[in-house]
Amino acid sequence: MIEKRQFYINGAWVNPAAPRDHNVIDPSTEEVCAVISLGDQADTDAAVAAAKAAWPAWAATPAEDRIALIEKLLEVYMSRSEEMAQAISTEMGAPIDLARTAQVGAGMAHMKNFINAAKGFDFNKPLSEKFNDTRIIYEPVGVAALITPWNWPMNQITLKVVAALVAGCTMVLKPSEESPLDALLFAEMVDAAGIPAGVFNLVNGDGTGVGTQLTAHKDVDMVSFTGSTRAGTAISKSAADTVKKVHLELGGKGANVIFADADDKAVSRGVMHMMNNSGQSCNAPSRMLVERAIYDQAVEQAAATVAKVQVGNAHDEGRHIGPVVNEVQFNKIQGLIEKGISEGARLVTGGPGRPDGFNRGFYVRPTIFADVTPDMTIYREEIFGPVLCISPFDSEEEAVEMANDTVYGLTNYVQTQDGAKANRMARVLRSGMVEMNGQPRGPGAPFGGIKQSGNGREGGVFGIEDFLDIKAVSGWS
Ligand code: NAD
């Protein structure tokens, strides 16, 4: 069992001011896989003070020198990717193959995109050709608190840390208490890359402790948060007294609108996307809306696709799905499945309880509900598990209305071979992202939502801009 109670503050590994043990549970086995310590106010203060002291020099470091250090960080990250994959798989249950490819790979891709974006970024540019003496100067916001979730841990950490580094911010990272091990490894990599002391600091803790201390701290200038809408709301309130910049990446309840003229892989693609990472993705296409003409056929196809999804231990190689992260999530998902049944949705496959052959571990049966109506709880609430809801629609207008009938606005999906219809849909769907016909976003495209899915944009040049203030200077010579 791993014991890692220290925090990374001011370029050194330090003991917590008042150690408070926290067990990290392996969701595949329900066994304790690590013990960390949760920080308290003294640890938070020390980390913020280090970040504040390091800020002037880091902000003044030429962008090309900062980029060179990030290139070094990428090199170290690549050399330790297997350790990282093992940590992610153990602490949050992503199958090891997924952890190696998508989970660790996402971090790598983000770093490369940030390096490219940073190289072309102009931190000081004229307002226009005509008004050349009015300059737009981009300056780092200052000390950033970075608070991340457990579901795609290295994806979230690199999106925040590397953007902040490029921008010239210093930072305190508080990773999820469910997935601290990969964050601790990342801190070792920052250290090995030679990022100056105090620029990056890490304190473990929970939301009510270190999380709240950071968001309320008078010396923190900005909070960049990814997690639930519930925590995002609390953070906005906590940060309000000190008028911090608050960047929120929150929950989602994506609609996947499948028209009758969609390609023949559209349904299976949507199902597999939903099941990926055991359904624990904020951008999961969790509501499949299908045009009535192909509805029955789509439900059958979805069931046939799910029948091929294997559930297994995250440590085993192979293309199965793993458990969900913890007991709380497991129970929440079970409750929502029960609710789907009691509210009258048609259970097509899966259902309550663990899959056959499992009596330990937080494994959930891949589940499909059909005939789900917008008034049902499973249509409205983010389930965050391998549960797909399918509903029919009769017209393009109804599809739009149903897709937008949610408090969330992160990602929506459209499947049709009619280009004009796809483009029309892309404009009227209320979300930060629309993915059409399974086409992935290009590298460095912005990731983020609207409505209760949040307000920031991460990735590439958009992510860097979030950590910058804009200063207008007139009379520049
Ligand atoms: P969570 O909100 O419970 O926790 C996220 C982080 O916030 C953790 O580090 C936690 O300790 C901290 N936290 C919790 N309450 C806090 C508070 N009051 N003040 C400060 N910090 C606090 O979320 P989770 O269960 O870890 O992650 C799942 C959620 O994250 C889902 O809702 C998912 O949709 C969302 N998510 C969103 C995105 C996105 O980009 N929009 C990406 C991944 C996950």
Provide, rounded to the nearest whole percent, the portion of the chain with pLDDT above 90: 99
Check pLDDT > 90 for residue 1: no
| Average pLDDT value over all residues in the chain | 97
pLDDT digits (tens, 9 = 90+) for 223-275: 999 999 999 999 999 999 999 999 999 999 999 999 999 999 999 999 999 99
3-state SS class at 33: strand
Surface-to-core class of residue 377, CB atoms within 10 Å of its CB (0-12 exposed, 13-18 middle, 19+ buried): middle
Torsional sign, CA 461, 462, 467, 469 = positive
Report the atom number in ligand 1 closest to the C-alpha of 206: 11
- Ligand 1, residues at Cβ distance < 6 Å: 147-152, 174, 176-177, 206-207, 211-212, 215, 226-228, 231, 234-235, 249-252, 282, 382, 384, 410, 449, 453-454
Closest-CA residue to 12 (of 197, 221, 150)? 197
Pocket residue to mutate for ligand 1, from 282, 327, 328, 383, most atoms within 8 A of Cβ: 282
Question: Distances from the Cα of 185 to the Cαs of 130, 159, 354, in angstroms?
Answer: 50, 16, 32
pLDDT digits (tens, 9 = 90+) for 287-312: 999 999 999 999 999 999 999 999 99
Q: What is the pLDDT of residue 233?
A: 97
Check pLDDT > 90 for residue 66: yes
Question: Distances from the Cα of 459 to the Cαs of 42, 65, 81, 295, 333, in angstroms?
Answer: 32, 20, 20, 36, 30
* pLDDT tier, 208 (very low <50, low <70, confident <90, very high otherwise): very high
Q: What is the mean pLDDT of residues 311-315?
A: 97
pLDDT digits (tens, 9 = 90+) for 385-434: 999 999 999 999 999 999 999 999 999 999 999 999 999 999 999 999 99
Distance CA 235, CA 354 (A): 35
Report the atom number in ligand 1 closest to the C-alpha of 447: 40
- Relative to beta strand 387-393, strand 255-258 is unpaired
- Residue 342 contacts by C-beta under 8 Å, 6 or more apart in sequence? none
| Distance in angstroms between the alpha carbons of the first and the last residue of the chain | 62
Q: What is the mean pLDDT of residues 177-198?
A: 98
User: 434: which 2 tokens?
Assistant: 């629309």
Q: What is the mean pLDDT of residues 160-170?
A: 98
Q: What is the mean pLDDT of residues 75-80?
A: 98
Rounded to the nearest whole angstrom, what is the distance from the C-alpha of residue 225 to the centroid of ligand 1? 7
Q: What is the pLDDT of residue 190?
A: 98
ipTM of the complex as predicted: 0.95
pLDDT digits (tens, 9 = 90+) for 316-331: 999 899 999 999 999 9
Check pLDDT > 90 for residue 102: yes
* pLDDT tier, 333 (very low <50, low <70, confident <90, very high otherwise): very high
The domains of the chain, with CATH numbers, are 2-250+454-473 (3.40.605.10), 255-436 (3.40.309.10)
Rounded to the nearest whole angstrom, what is the distance from the C-alpha of residue 440 to the centroid of ligand 1? 24
| Residues annotated as catalytic (active site), given as ranges | 249, 282
Please say whether the beta carbons of 330 and 395 come within 8 A: no
Report the atom number in ligand 1 closest to the C-alpha of 149: 26
Rounded to the nearest whole angstrom, what is the distance from the C-alpha of residue 199 to the centroid of ligand 1? 24
